[in-house]
Amino acid sequence: MSIERGLEFSVLPTPRIHFGAGTLAKLPALVAAYGRNMLLVTGRQTLQRSPVASGILDELRHAGMKFTHLDVDREPSPELIDEAVALGRETSFDVVVAIGGGSAVDAGKAISAMLLQQHSVERFIEGQPGFMPHDGRKVPFIAVPTTSGTGTEATSNAVISRVGPGGYKRSLRHPAFVPNEAIIDPELMTSAPPELTAASGMDAFTQLLEAYLSPLASPYTDAISCSGLVHFSRSFERTCGDGAGSVAIRGDMAYAALMSGIALSNAGLGIVHGFASSVGGLFDIPHGTLCATLLAESTRENIRHLRASEGGEAGLQKFANASRILTGSTTGNVTDDCNRLVELLESWQQRYAFPRLGEFGVSERDFDAIIPATRSKTNAVSLDEAAMRRILKARV
């Protein structure tokens, strides 16, 4: 006797989310719930760039908080994490707070995860020799993003990078690593410069699109992805232009990024983020920039393969629906709507001058190292080596 199964999916934890203009003011009270001694991790330019962020330091002092300040100027390396953890073992922090872009939040997340461990962080990074599963113990962590991009304020992983020959960009991951609290205050984002805004926004969009097209997508992640795409569609171009100083428009982008983090945690990502790991481990390319420069060509290749594959209609329908959300209209034809999506992505590529891979030193002779290291098991469709080579070659 066969058992007919209905809809099945699982959902990972999310932080307690505090979303909206002015929510940064909640930080002192949230910190106090965990203790008085905190490690504050920020981006190198965060406090100088944002008067709102810098002002919270006085509020923390006024509330009687003691804090040690660590600033981060790039994607966190294992050495940075190990050095910060060594400092933390001398100080005994009650809570870790990260205020900044994706790199600062990932650094804070990784530090909070390692403060109660004795080994180097490299022992716990996925895919590394001698990998050991993490037991999930951590110091409480509060994430405060100042850019709308990675969605790491809602994810259970922190990306750690060692860039160069033999390098990698991989995750430290455990369900317990989701931040305890996430403060998403769009007032912190109005001072982000245009180039950073565009690249971060494209990262969020890539995550929404790839999670939506993932074979692990569910009605839950589809609803989240589409909600994020709606908010992205009405705010991305304006945050890069005349709406950069608008808290409401920045709020739409912040929401899109948050949704992208929840969606990717539960559905996975595709070929663009596969390349972000393999290319990003070999070459020092900002993550958002890498996503932005590869997305149009990767989307074209995915659509081409879906058209040629049995059962590809569902994926094509999703690409067409994403096109309708972004453009606000439909041609009434799935093929034409998919083509319009690629054209829109190419227009953004040109308008915002996303640099080619060659500008960072990538050449065709590197493809033989990049392609075998590229993982894309949750891509919209299986891509062979020739397809991956075409994507890279189009953007060198």
**Each residue of 168-201: b (16+ CB within 10 Å) or e?**
bbbbbbbebbbbbbbbbbbbbbbbbeeebbbbbb
Q: Tell me, yes or no, whether 84 and 207 share the same domain.
A: no
Q: Flag whether 5 is in a domain.
A: no
Q: Tell me, yes or no, whether 207 and 150 share the same domain.
A: no
Q: Flag whether 11 is in a domain.
A: no
Q: Which CATH number is 124's domain given?
A: 3.40.50.1970
Q: Residue 47's pLDDT is what?
A: 83
Q: Tell me, yes or no, whether 68 and 171 share the same domain.
A: yes
Q: How far apart are CA 298 and CA 268, in angstroms?
A: 16
Q: Tell me, yes or no, whether 160 and 212 share the same domain.
A: no
Q: How far apart are CA 23 and CA 6, in angstroms?
A: 40
Q: Flag whether 3 is in a domain.
A: no
Q: Tell me, yes or no, whether 343 and 279 share the same domain.
A: yes
Question: Cβ distance 144 to 187 under 8 Å?
Answer: no
Q: Flag whether 248 is in a domain.
A: yes
Q: Tell me, yes or no, whether 56 and 93 share the same domain.
A: yes
Q: Which CATH number is 199's domain given?
A: 1.20.1090.10
- Domain count of the chain? 2
Assign residue 311 a region (left: φ > 0; alpha: ψ between -120 and 50; beta: otherwise). Answer: left
304, HSE (Cβ side, Cα atoms, 13 Å):
14
Q: How far apart are CA 150 and CA 207, in angstroms?
A: 8
Q: Tell me, yes or no, whether 233 and 158 share the same domain.
A: no
Q: Flag whether 153 is in a domain.
A: yes
Q: Tell me, yes or no, whether 126 and 212 share the same domain.
A: no
Series of mean pLDDT values for 10-residue runs along the chain (396 residues)? 71 97 96 96 86 88 92 92 90 94 96 96 93 96 97 97 92 97 97 95 98 97 98 98 97 98 98 96 95 98 96 97 95 96 98 97 97 95 97 97
Question: Which of 131, 164, 189 lies at the terminal end of a domain, its last residue?
Answer: 189
Q: Tell me, yes or no, whether 179 and 200 share the same domain.
A: no
Contacts of 62 (CB under 8 A, 6+ apart): 28
Full domain range(s) for residue 310: 194-395
Question: Which of 189, 214, 240 lies at the terminal end of a domain, its last residue?
Answer: 189
Q: Residue 4's pLDDT is what?
A: 61
Question: Coil, strand, or helix at residue 34?
Answer: coil
Give residue for tokens 């709606």: 230
Question: Cβ distance 221 to 268 under 8 Å?
Answer: no
Q: Flag whether 6 is in a domain.
A: no
Q: Tell me, yes or no, whether 142 and 177 share the same domain.
A: yes
Contacts of 164 (CB under 8 A, 6+ apart): 282
Q: Tell me, yes or no, whether 206 and 87 share the same domain.
A: no
Residue type at position 205: F
Q: Tell me, yes or no, whether 282 and 339 share the same domain.
A: yes
Question: Which of 136, 159, 189 lies at the terminal end of a domain, its last residue?
Answer: 189
Q: Flag whether 4 is in a domain.
A: no
